[in-house]
Structure 1
């Protein structure tokens, strides 16, 4: 049944949290990920109330994990019925978590989490260009406190202790400032029932044991509720992390050259900044995220003072870091020969020559009224979306979401479809944002980065140009 207009403090809190963290842009489409539990059902109804005011469209996604038999079928039917009452478009995705867990040799919880992430990523890749997509998750403040404690118990650094972020790519968490009991109270006040997953009552997972045992005993022993304070600590640390990440980008740009990471410049940094630069460099080169573990970082740092030219250090995913005449570079069997430069940060404004490609790459901000002639050698991008990109060659795991198309694909498949000769594929110049490709000069632009003529968007635009040496520009 439709919910009457809600004017209580919970709706105000969610509205303010969305505004403070810029979670939803006007004209965007929001997909609410709804399991049928209290938190996600409250998310669906709260977003339904806010959709007209905040100028976004709403749909619902339910991921059926193929676990819990008829109970899971019941949950899926319940969510579909709730969407029907609200006239919200509903979609269900079925994933065989048990098979995925066996194949990857993972626990069911981790396999289910990764399966959901894969579904979210696929939805983001299929989003129509020009309409921002947000996938809303129902994590709330109690979940955040549990996450912080889990990461603390694992010895995580700052990146883990910030917990879950309100905005994480296309994922948003509008309820991260709300308590579990507030959400259940909201549903009860509107006479709404929800599904109960009995596995949440069992203490076979670390999160459940923290929820049922540790947090309760903390409050009993110390006389205060730790959840708001753990949430506040995570928010404070997130502010510190944002500062360090920006400082790390600047230091990486200073250390990075076409030859790799400058060992002397890296050695001069504070150890905390060295770690951040190494991890960011790893992410840029390989497209992998958090899997450069502490043992690998420490081994690399311990190697700084005693590295000799020609030596190498093994890293995950078959990668190695090689020390060559004062510079460190990451390389694998899939990388092109050493005469092709490794990542070079995009700098605006700039003009530089990449000798192995025999090209000059230029970058400049677009002036008001400036007309851009789009062709394979010239393209225009939103600066905020490409400012952390690098020029490089292809890496395993690269993907591209071609401009004006709804489906992303592996770069390897894209190059095959474009019939780029096999011998040329490892020498294609790319503008990359981690594993996502923003531009393949002469071929394609990435939908999430390009600024089309006449398109309104965020902030300044930058025009990039690639000219072959010896040709008139």
Structure 2
């Protein structure tokens, strides 16, 4: 909505225009984070003027969070109380134990303060939204009729914070120093969900000029001048040096770059969303990336798609790095069955047609009641109760991390573990069957399977009619050297070998159209 404004100085007009251009004030309630510093005092003063100048029916609520760290925290709180009283602005004050929260969550004090601050803002915003919802249901017909005419009455409460162009420059420089992608170069967005940042169009010097021109008081956080903090060093030393020695418009130029990057990011997000809809299937907590579709994508978009998949699968974006994306993309050119470990307990595994990204559920085999283990490496024996997998109708997984040797293609290789999964028969078997993984009809197997080396009396079924022969004969027919036979890994039920790893799979317990549950057994390299 474009509003008609009274004459004003250039700085305030730019903020007003910035608010309009980004549709920032489309709500009945507006929360403003108010620390009492120059930035937040400038913010709430301009927003208060904007609402009054344009006769907007917006409830302004200041929120001050006392972190209880600095000696002057009580002074700041009292200043904010007096300021809001004089301006007749509603105020909520919250006190938190920032140091205690930091210890509990394993964060720095600064990170804990920021996290808790935004949690408080969000909680208050939800409370205001609920009150509006209750009002529309319980008010009189006249009040409801008036409310229905208010364009922004039912729109979510917005939260205004006082970031400006210098904050933008600091953020971008910090991201660049740490190593970043496009998101890091676009810096802070003017609008993100509920959060709005009306002062991103002003430099800090312009905010200070506004404060002086309007004779506004504010408090000073003395820790902002301690250059032992990285961000303070960027703010007080690096940026002023660039402005003095390189370009006086350094901050403004970085801010303009961020705006262009935001437009570019929006475009890439749309392209990635289109690629995601074509290339990714989501089955519960499993993300399947179509290999052919992925290979056809521009590498940049392919990386963005993989990053999105990992973020969704992990339900987080922090600690997912470019190296993780590269590791997943490398699977395209590797053989079926290969996998990579990822942050948040994720694993990506290559199938025939898809890359599967999912959570890895680890079981401590020494503590499990469903697995019996014989510890002699020469007599490997893992007895696995399959009922442990059949807990729900959803996909279940058991991961056993244990190193052992195995014969494979004429040599001895190192196996680092075993994974068993139970899934509904809605999968494409060829996506799972490989040299390292085989699928079985769960209901055709006894309740316990054993992973071991050969024993006397071992046999395997060799055709669909149920004919069988001794394992020894299979070794002879395939000309497997005697020295290697003792290292052949077997998946057995009693003496029946369901799978001789690296040699052949039995014709027993095959998956068919009547199969209800599929057991996937996979050895991990």
Q: TM-score, normalised by structure 2?
A: 0.60
Report the Cα offset of residue 217 of structure 1: 1.4
- Pair 1:294–1:336, CA change in 2 (3 A): farther
* Kept after mapping to 2: 8 A contact 1:339/1:356: no
- From 307, 328, 332, the equivalent of 1:304 is 332
- Choose the corresponding residue for 1:332, options 348, 359, 368: 359
**1:96 lines up with 2:94 in the alignment:** no
- Describe the superposition over 1:187-244 as per-residue Cα deviations: whole angstroms up to 9, x where unpaired: 2222211000000111022221111111121122225331111111111111111100
Question: Structure 2: how far apart are the matches of 1:336 and 1:98?
Answer: 44
Out of 6-15 and 234-243, give the one that drifted further: 6-15
* Pairwise CA RMSD: 2.5
Where do residues 37-52 of structure 1 align in structure 2 (5 Å cutoff)? 37-52=37-52
Matches within 5 A, 1:231-380: 231-258=255-282, 260-309=288-337, 311-332=338-359, 337-338=394-395
Higher RCO structure (Cα 8 Å, ≥6 apart): 1
* Aligned match of 1:80: 81
Helix, strand or coil: the match of 1:257? strand
Q: 1:121 to 1:323 in 2, by over 3 A?
A: farther
Q: What are the residue-to-residue correspondences of 1:58-137 with 2, within 5 Å?
A: 58-69=60-71, 71-126=72-127, 127-128=129-130, 129=133, 130-137=154-161
Q: Secondary structure at the match of 1:44?
A: helix
Question: In the TM superposition, what are the counterparts of 1:159-170 in structure 2 within 5 Å?
Answer: 159-170=183-194
Give 1:120 deviation, angstroms: 2.9
Size of the aligned set, in residue pairs, is 337
Write out aligned runs for 1:133-152 (5 A): 133-152=157-176
CA 1:338–1:307: 2 relative to 1, 3 Å:
farther
User: Residues 112-165 of structure 1, C-alpha deviation per residue, up to 9 Å, x if partnerless?
Assistant: 222223223333443325332110010011111111111111121111110100
Which consecutive aligned stretches of 4+ in structure 1 deviate over 4 angstroms post-superposition? 333-336, 355-358
- For residues 7 and 75 of structure 2, the distance between their equivalents in structure 1, rounded to whole angstroms, comes to 28
Distance 1:339 1:267 in 2: 30
Q: Deviations over 1:84-110 (max 9, x none)?
A: 112111011222221122233332222
- The answer as to whether partners of 2:347 and 2:360 remain within 8 angstroms in 1 is no
Task: Give the whole-Å Cα distance in 2 for the aligned partners of 1:140 and 1:16.
Answer: 15
1:172 alignment partner in structure 2: 196
Distance 1:8 1:103 in 2: 48
Contact 1:6-1:49 within 8 A present in 2 as well: no
- Which residue does 1:454 correspond to in 2? none
**Aligned-residue offset at 1:258:** 4.8
Between structures 1 and 2, the one with greater strand share? 2
What is the CA–CA distance in structure 2 between the aligned matches of 1:238 and 1:268, rounded to whole Å?
26
Give the C-alpha shift of residue 268 in structure 1: 1.9
Structure 2 gap segments, 5+ residues each: 1-5, 134-153, 362-391, 398-422, 427-525
For residue 94 of structure 2, give the secondary structure of its aligned residue in structure 1: strand
Query: Residue in 1 aligned with 2:219?
Result: 195
In structure 1, distance between residues paired with 2:425 and 2:122: 33
- Report what 1:7 is aligned to: 8
Q: Distance in 1 between matches of 2:336 and 2:313?
A: 22
Q: 1:258 to 1:231 in 2, by over 3 A?
A: closer
Tell me, yes or no, if structure 1 residue 23 matches structure 2 residue 24. Answer: yes
Q: Any gaps of 5 or more consecutive residues in structure 1?
A: 341-354, 359-473
Counterpart-to-counterpart distance in 1, 2:58 and 2:393: 45
**Alpha-carbon distance in structure 1 between the residues aligned to 2:282 and 2:40:** 48
Cα distance between partner residues in 2 of 1:9 and 1:357: 67
CA distance in 1: counterparts of 2:157 and 2:208, whole angstroms: 27
* Counterpart-to-counterpart distance in 2, 1:295 and 1:75: 44
- Cα distance change on mapping 1:301 and 1:103 into 2, 3 Å: same
CA distance in 2 between partners of 1:316 and 1:138 (Å): 33
Change (3 A) 1:50 1:279: same
Deviations 1:414-433 (A, max 9, x none): xxxxxxxxxxxxxxxxxxxx
Q: Which has the larger radius of gyration?
A: 2
Offset of residue 356 of structure 1? 7.3
Rounded Cα–Cα distance in structure 2 between residues aligned with 1:92 and 1:235 = 34
Deviations 1:4-60, CA, capped at 9 Å, x for gaps: x982222211110011111111x4311000110000011111111112414422111
Q: Pick closer, same or farther for the CA change 1:177–1:336 going to 2, 3 Å.
A: farther
